[in-house]
Amino acid sequence: MKNLKKLTGIAAATAIAFAATPVVAENACAGCDGHKNDCSAQPTDSQRTLARQQLIDALKSMKKDPEKIEFHSAMCYKMALSPDTCDYSCPSCGKITTYQYHSLGGKLARQIATVRRSLDNLAVKIDVDESSLCQKCQKGNKPELVFTTACGNCNASFTWKIVDDEQLDKLEWLFLKYPVSSLDIGPGVGPTTDPQRVKSMVEFVSGCTFCPDCIKKLDLDY
């Protein structure tokens, strides 16, 4: 999505990776001050606790009043020509795997460094298994990202995956700084409301950060 470049620490090249459905908050990075643009320092326990409550409150508000979120086009976009392929360097074995640039594997390979950094700044603990991106380590699996979350409410462990372009497009929602009131969805759009998109955001982010039982307890289910 083009607007992921607004996420602090994201290189300009990553703007191409999420070109399908760009969505970015005005204060996009979940773990840093938008004015200081510093993602290097991880939040403290007290900051995480506050951020978790802010996230819960924001998701409840989005569920209750989806029309309050405004979608608009904040800027003009100029797409650069992309190369045919990109390389993924496995942090475990060091093998280089080459992907077609616009394939799912290529998109995941180009985003994984940003994902690793961004996970450290979330209000809940989430780890990522990227081994399927490596031809040596994948053991026949298709390219995917497997995440393990410690539920932000009860700390129970559960897993979820990014296995296609649609899910990858939604992944940036996890890294927005909540609450949000205005989102950029690309050129030539808005201002407008989109309750169905807001519902999808609540469902996706809730499913990444809270276990199914706690989603119900927190009244975040539909």
Which tens digits make up the pLDDT trace of 130-155?
999 999 999 888 999 999 999 999 99
Q: CA–CA separation, 175 vs 116, rounded Å?
A: 11
Look at 24 and 53; give whichever has higher pLDDT: 53
- Is 196's pLDDT higher than 80? yes
Which tens digits make up the pLDDT trace of 50-86?
999 999 999 999 999 999 999 887 666 566 788 999 9
Question: What does residue 7 show for φ and ψ, rounded to 5 degrees?
Answer: -65, 125
| Res 127: pLDDT | 98
Spell out the domain ranges in the chain. Answer: 33-68+82-175+197-217
* Selection from 128, 118, 218, 126 nearest residue 177 by Cα: 118
What's the full length of the chain, in residues?
222
C-alpha angle 180/206/22, rounded to 5°? Answer: 50
Q: Which two tokens stand for residue 62?
A: 């989005």
Q: Which two tokens stand for residue 145?
A: 């990202």
| Res 197: pLDDT | 94
Rounded (10°) angle between helices 104-119 and 165-174: 20
Mean pLDDT of 206-213: 98
pTM for the full model?
0.79
